[in-house]
């Protein structure tokens, strides 16, 4: 008898939930998110806010220039996934962000700022989900025989006295 494989619609929500929850305990993930994505990545936005004295049109365009590369980085992360449904999710999200970017460019001043803020918050959340399972953000690596990777060599002791 042939076994039925689960459908991708059954798999996507638990996978997204896992990607959302997994990085919550890792300090390295938060430091990359706050330091790299929000502070350094948003430096141009902060400069525009300061220089334009709060002009919403200028801030909207600065946010458009911020969230689009952020989404692009997350899309590259989803594109490297093995499961086709995750790559399809990335393309679906890309379409949504294209619509938001078009709305930013074509709407009036205050709506433009609203769409830019929406795109920015969704872009940061999309980055979070895309990088949620990335092992470079897992800052606790097991070094003992009870949970480490069995294919790597054990760490050497710096104490040379016991070898003699």
CA distance 128 to 146: 30
Tens of pLDDT, residues 102-130: 999 999 888 999 999 999 999 999 999 99
87 occurs within a structural domain: yes
User: At residue 16, does pLDDT exceed 60?
Assistant: yes
Query: By percentage, how much of the chain surpasses pLDDT 90?
Result: 48
2 occurs within a structural domain: no
pTM: 0.78
Burial class (CB in 10 A: 0-12, 13-18, 19+), 149: exposed
Tokens found for residue 87: 């790559």
User: CA dihedral defined by 123, 125, 130, 132, rounded to 10 degrees?
Assistant: 150
CA-based diameter of the chain, in Å? 78
Which residue would you say has higher pLDDT here, 164 or 82? 82
Q: How confident is the model at residue 84 (pLDDT cuts 50, 70, 90)?
A: confident
Which residue would you say has higher pLDDT here, 143 or 32? 32
162 occurs within a structural domain: no
Tens of pLDDT, residues 20-55: 998 888 888 999 999 999 999 999 999 999 998 878
157 occurs within a structural domain: no
Domain carrying residue 95: 26-135
Burial class (CB in 10 A: 0-12, 13-18, 19+), 123: buried
Tell me which residue of 34, 94, 96, 98 sits closest to 64, measured CA to CA.
98
pLDDT at res. 22 = 87
CA distance 36 to 150: 33
Tokens found for residue 2: 């042939």
Domains in the chain: how many in total? 1
């Amino acid at each position: 008898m042939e076994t039925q494989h689960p459908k991708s619609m059954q798999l996507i929500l638990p996978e997204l939930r896992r990607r959302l929850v997994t990085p919550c305990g890792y300090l390295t993930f938060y430091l990359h998110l706050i330091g790299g994505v929000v502070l350094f990545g948003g430096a141009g936005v902060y400069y525009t806010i300061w220089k334009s004295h709060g002009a919403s049109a200028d801030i909207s365009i600065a946010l458009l220039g911020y969230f689009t590369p952020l989404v692009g980085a997350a899309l590259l992360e989803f594109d490297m996934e093995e499961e086709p449904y995750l790559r399809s999710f990335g393309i679906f999200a890309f379409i949504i962000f294209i619509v938001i970017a078009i709305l930013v460019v074509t709407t009036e001043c205050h709506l433009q700022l609203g769409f830019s803020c929406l795109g920015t918050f969704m872009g940061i959340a999309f980055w979070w989900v895309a990088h949620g399972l990335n092992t470079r953000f897992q800052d606790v690596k097991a070094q003992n025989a009870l949970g480490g990777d069995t294919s790597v060599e054990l760490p050497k002791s710096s104490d040379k006295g016991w070898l003699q």
